[in-house]
Chain A
């Protein structure tokens, strides 16, 4: 029985437009218009014609050198960037484990931040109410949940972020280099949770420079090179190719 497709990408291309002389102020913009000056652009293609199909329960690793387009690809999937060409359809909720503390406000309490962060991921009040206790327990922060976040250590903040993003049980989990956070004990717990996701129907996307982690976690791997798909296949095969000098 083949699983349902969760992510379908065809011909996805992302372009960054670098204007040679970009007017940064309204003043400049109007002066240029009056003068009849045309703007010159240089296009940089961060992704070129990417085709990908992912199913439920599949774990895909994405590897490549810096600037290859890995984060850009994740952003297109997450809906942060729009591709200039091609089509993408995504079925299901997405939780990015991308710098977990982006949504936190240091002045608010742990509880208020849980609601804030989970609502950023698109969850309703009822859903958060249901998950609240589990989130606090996994993060091991039950004594501190009513204290402001600025009193937390950085480890505590990371644990909370990780707990929220994973407890909400997303259909698609996006991990950008951060596999495990916190001290040794928590690191093990978070790795376990991610491995636990593999057993469910969650689609996981994992960007990493650590080939060991990639091989451990991923079924297939996509090797991105200068925005193009250089190789796609079994994680052992592709990572070995990648590591050849």
Chain B
């Protein structure tokens, strides 16, 4: 009993070194995703930047009557929320089919399978970087000063990458065994999005519902992201620590889940 779980721990660690060994494949998968996505569209990668901007414009027109009074720099608040959420939501959604979509390969050649959801999340991170450009443009246009804690930005990004990777490992493994995972996850994301202060400020949430926010990992990610960008607030806050906690729990849970079922995946592909 003890022996087999010890063996499993060792295997989980070995799997990490396997993923590192295949870093060239990781690089090729990411560059393929980026090339294929942008080769076809006329606007190319401009669309990555335009899409959140357009969404922000529409939403801010709708909500400016409601929230503008209470939220300073609503345009920046909204846009920062949108692009960070999109990174997570689109990244994890895209990763759901990463095992099924690569079933031909997985059934024929040995690969550390985690490399597929990892490449999806890292590609999503690159798209996120592109979408930061319009955000900085809006910051400049609205005359919003950049926070002195801007150096925390990479820290926040790493947190969200780790969290997203953990989640992606779980959903992509689950989908292989249960085909309705995709649909259930999409509904979950929708509810999750409304539970995150993306287009509404934290202040409008009534006290009795505040606990929902406090249980939401993205509440912490959003806050630290906005503080790093432009909002006032200390960087070594409680929220940053909670954010890291959630990120590591998701990563470790995801990694163990993936390792537990990775050998069975090939039978269901």
Does B associate with A? yes
List chain A positions with a Cβ less than 8 A from chain B.
16-17, 23-27, 29, 75, 78-82, 94, 96, 98-99, 102-103, 105, 107-108, 112, 115-116, 119-125, 128
Beta-carbon contact of A102 and B108 below 8 Å? yes
Q: Name 16 interchain pairs, CB-CB below 8 A, sorted by A.
A: A17-B267, A24-B178, A26-B181, A26-B184, A27-B180, A78-B109, A79-B110, A96-B109, A98-B109, A103-B109, A107-B35, A107-B39, A112-B28, A112-B32, A116-B32, A119-B27
- A234 → chain B closest CB, angstroms: 30
Return the contact of A115 from the options B28, B39, B108 (Cβ within 8 A). Answer: B28
A131 to B107, CA, bound (A): 26
Total residues of chain B contacting the partner, CB 8 A: 29
Q: In the bound complex, do residue A25 and residue B106 qualify as a contact, i.e. CB atoms below 8 Å apart?
A: no
Interface of B is mostly: helix
Residue among A98, A99, A120, A125 facing the most chain B CB atoms (10 A cut-off): A120
* Bound form: Cα–Cα A103–B107 in Å: 11
Q: B7 CB to closest chain A CB, in angstroms?
A: 12
Task: List, in ascending order, chain B residues with CB within 8 A of A16's CB.
Answer: 267
Q: A119 with B28: in contact, given A26-B174, A103-B105 (CB under 8 Å)?
A: yes
Chain B contacts with A in 103-157, Cβ cutoff 8 A: 104-111
- Shortest C-beta distance, A159 to chain B (Å), equals 19
A119 CA to B108 CA in the complex, in Å?
Answer: 14
Assess whether A105 is in contact with B109, with CB atoms less than 8 Å apart: no
Q: Using known A-B contacts A29-B178, A119-B25, A119-B28, determine if residue A108 contacts B35 with beta carbons closer than 8 Å.
A: yes
B102 to chain A, nearest CB (A): 9
B21 at the interface (CB under 8 A from A): yes
- Determine the distance from Cα of A103 to Cα of B28 in the docked complex, in whole angstroms: 11
Complex Cα distance, B32 from A120, in Å, reads 13
Chain A's closest residue to B175 (CB) is A26
Bound-state CA distance A134–B216 (Å) is 54
Give me 9 other A-B pairs in contact (C-beta within 8 A), A80-B109, A102-B105, A122-B21 excluded. Answer: A24-B179, A29-B178, A78-B109, A80-B266, A105-B32, A107-B36, A119-B25, A120-B105, A128-B24
Which chain A residue lies CB-closest to B185? A26
Closest 9 CB pairs of A and B: A79-B110, A119-B25, A25-B180, A119-B24, A26-B178, A82-B263, A116-B28, A102-B104, A98-B108
> How far, in angstroms, from A116 to B7 measured CA to CA in the complex?
32
Q: Which residues of A contact B63 (CB under 8 A)?
A: none
Across-interface contacts of A79 in B (CB, < 8 A): 110
A26-B32 in contact (CB<8A): no
Least distance between A20 CB and chain B CB atoms (Å) = 16
For A29, the chain B residues whose CB sits under 8 A away are 178
Which residues of B are found within 8 Å of A25, using beta-carbon distances?
Answer: 178-180
How far apart sit A103 and B184, CA to CA, in the bound complex (Å)?
A: 30
Closest to A82 in B: B263
Please report the C-alpha to C-alpha distance between residue A121 and residue B110 in the assembled complex, in whole angstroms.
8
Cβ < 8 Å to A, chain B residues 4-58: 21-22, 24-25, 27-29, 31-32, 35-36, 39
**Cβ contact within 8 Å between B109 and A121:** yes
Give the distance to chain B from A85, nearest Cβ to Cβ, in Å. 13
| Distance of A94 from chain B, by nearest CB (Å) | 7
Asked whether, in the complex, the Cβ of B263 is within 8 Å of the Cβ of A80, the reply is no
Chain B residues with CB under 8 A of A98: 108-109
A108 touches B32 (CB 8 A): yes
Q: Which B residues from 91 to 106 make CB contacts under 8 A with A?
A: 104-106
- CA gap between A85 and B258 in the complex, in Å: 22
User: Which of chain B's residues has its CB closest to A105's CB?
Assistant: B32
Please judge, given known A-B contacts A119-B22, A119-B25, whether A26 and B180 are in contact too, CB under 8 Å. yes
